[in-house]
Chain A
């Protein structure tokens, strides 16, 4: 009886069987990597805007507070996109002829809003509220990143659920005193840079965070990681 397989089939079949394990593992890894990459999350992607508004210039350069434009951030779920009138408070006086600002003036004249491209976009099945985060001592730049150093706005974080949960599972790692929420240059406490809160000096974020969790009545981790806290 003639042989139906060559001798090399032995090696081939062994390699296939053992290789399958690595293949499946690699496939899982690739899937996970793609899912977390900016290709899916848009983190770090500068989207085109009608006017190349620079947060860096307005925040770091001119020192305008976040709330000057995003007026409802402390009281509402939505931080608020400023109306053209807010721009014109200054730009009716300065740079009045700048070509760059033509769409702003046009919008002001016609009353038609500027169509900004949304940068930090959460899915519709997520309930997110800015005011609660601000009230509990989550700094703007904790989530939005160094906005004062962003010539063009981009999304700093992945905004994926693992990122949300990273903080909800250990809020003390990220909280700061309420009066520091809008401070873009705030540094978490360390030996060289102690933070004073309610007369106490803290040199350690975990200790400060724990005090803030208590002071601001942050709900238990069990509560804030409940599915229906965000998926209502």
Chain B
């Protein structure tokens, strides 16, 4: 029998530095939004992100005028950057939901300081992801055909297609994430409403806070709604990327048609998601002086999650390679050979180093504590996870069953502009989020303080 947790004293970095009170927590977080003037750095960062967003809109506008031909996709590689980026972005979003829903249900209180911006990250990542399937359909003005709606064609989408399941998985995911995020923000909106001096700001936050007065009944309903949504969001962490992996696994293309895909995609999603969380958290805590709230403990925990999910991903690669040999299927065997020796071998080795080799340094405690090292490793992982999707999509397709239809895939400048543009859009949204909403959940942070402990 383990000792009751009360008597166990483990020296751990706290999730919130000592010395804070309800007042200082509220003051520190809300000041970013209400009183602190936007720095030059913010304007430069936002400006650059905004320009990248404009570049993306230009690339998409040109795509609408000219058509899919401006992209690198051809036969046999009919799925190029659009699908690679879609899967990459959707994957990144997963960390937010994991942190906000699963860690909430598991009562991991350290999540309280990172859940808000991780959820925001989820929303913006899903928004970035959602662009790609819509512009990839060839006639984007008919993209609404993806949804079943009453129409004069009397046709419904093909419900047996995993692409259709994807539409439902991703739209459900976006809806639940947005609701979860918003519900969690309501008490904080009320805090901002009460603290601001300006009347129009009061009105805006007042409307957003839905008349929150912090009564016991409000809190009761809030807790119920939040738990219910967490319960709804929890299966989504697993289901969304499972369905995304079905886009490939249901197809008969060697390199896609494998049952390891769902778990390995989910692990990969959380892997890249936590990498993005760290890449955002490390600069944010530094610039806004939030080291008291996002402590070494958070960095360490995130690093451990990355290490664990990274090993699952490595296992996935191992199983893929093993099955290439064990299945005895010559096409599967060729896929493996082609990854190692084909024209995209360089990308495959880069993928193995970025996703498996380099992240193993996270076993070292000193690096898990170092923000700079974690920032770099996260960057490497994000590149690795992008390469993984590139390998899955492009390398599997470019060598068809028929030798005569083999080809190469070369992304064009429009592919790159759209991809980099979505990163800009994501960052621009993050910049706005930091200035307009409390980036850390104020009231949930307050529950972590010693003051909040109820004496019976």
Contact = CB atoms under 8 A, between A and B. Distances in A.
Decide if A and B are genuine partners: yes
A6 B152 CA distance: 46
Contact of B155 (A1, A13, A161, A166): A161
Summarize B's interface: helix, strand, loop or mixed. Answer: loop
Given A4-B203, A35-B151, A162-B153, 12 more contacts: A4-B193, A4-B199, A4-B206, A5-B211, A9-B211, A13-B207, A13-B210, A32-B152, A162-B151, A162-B152, A162-B154, A165-B154
B416 interface: no
Contacts of A28: 149-150
Contacts, number: 37
Contacts of B149: 28
Interface string B122-155: 0000000000000000000000000001111111
B202 interface: yes
Contact of A161 (B154, B194, B203, B207): B154
A198 B154 CA distance: 35
B280 to A, nearest CB: 32
Contacts of B154: 161-162, 165-166
Nearest to B154: A162
Interface of B: 149-155, 193-194, 199, 202-203, 206-207, 210-211
A10 interface: yes
A194 interface: no
Contact of B211 (A1, A10, A36): A10
20 contacts: A1-B194, A4-B193, A4-B202, A4-B203, A10-B211, A13-B207, A13-B211, A32-B150, A32-B152, A36-B152, A158-B152, A160-B152, A160-B153, A161-B153, A161-B155, A162-B151, A162-B153, A162-B154, A165-B154, A166-B154
A35 B153 CA distance: 10
A5 B203 CA distance: 8
B152 A35 contact: yes
Contacts of B207: 13
A183 B43 CA distance: 78
Interface string A2-38: 0011000110010000000000000010001001100
A4 B192 CA distance: 14
Nearest to B153: A161
Contacts of B199: 4
Contacts of A160: 152-153
